Amino acid sequence: MSESVRISTDARGVACVTLNRPTVHNAFNDAVIARLTEIFRDLGADRSVRLVQLRGAGASFSAGADLSWMQRMAGFGREENREDALALATMLRTLNEMPKPTLAVVQGPALAGGCGLVAACDIAIAAETALFGLTEVRLGLIPATIGPYVAAAIGPRACRRYFLTGERFDAAEAHRLGLVQALVPPDRLEQTAAVLTDSLLAGGPRAQAAAKALIAAIAFRPMDDALVADTAERIADARASAEGREGIASFLERRRPSWQL
């Protein structure tokens, strides 16, 4: 029996995590969620990993929740449903807070929870033929666990439409909304992923982790003395770090920094 999630890491430290249930459009269940949480934690802690690509096998990126899992959930009581939902929320948070750059490569439909996976990644690129949707209300549900990530990506105004209608939207709309940052013909998706991967590998790994922490710390904060002091402390730490010193030295000496060798 094939693995429901495949993982491979190349010599550069590029980890590829692939949802591998193409016959059910890479829908996830409790077992897949637990496996993804474990993988994201391990990759985040692995110093040899530089970045993580998230993909779906076959024609779809992810259709969200597996139908048989949803059927089981329908028989759960409230407390069982809360625990089950908490596991999904924890997986998404683990992905969102991973200290490594994350890149979603979306070749096909990303619906409901699949949209949440896309939104929780740092960067998302999609084929022009991809399809998106936040379809939960059509099942009498809400996009609760994915909501914070989708709202951060597309804003509350767009959420008011797509959370409430449950309608599907094409890749051009996903790009306009900011859910994906690049939109390309299907035959150029891998080339675009490779270019972005090279760009990410050019950055210092500790600096990238610190940059992600910076974004989380400053987003939507008012400009006050505390924020000014916080940002000054962060850049001082970066400048004084071994990686910061190496980056400046390599620039002045016109050579590649150690993390690119």
**252, exposed or middle or buried, with CB in 10 Å at 0-12, 13-18, 19+?**
exposed
Strand pairing class (5-9; 14-19)? antiparallel
Q: Are 111 and 89 in contact (CB under 8 A)?
A: no
Q: Which residues are catalytic, by number?
A: 136
Q: String of b and e for 26-53 (b: at least 16 CB within 10 Å)?
A: bbbbbebbebbbebbeebbeeeebbbbb
Distances (CA, A) of 193 to 106, 111, 123, 134: 10, 21, 10, 25
The contacts of residue 221 (CB under 8 Å, 6+ apart) are: 227
Distances (CA, A) of 188 to 18, 25, 182: 19, 22, 11
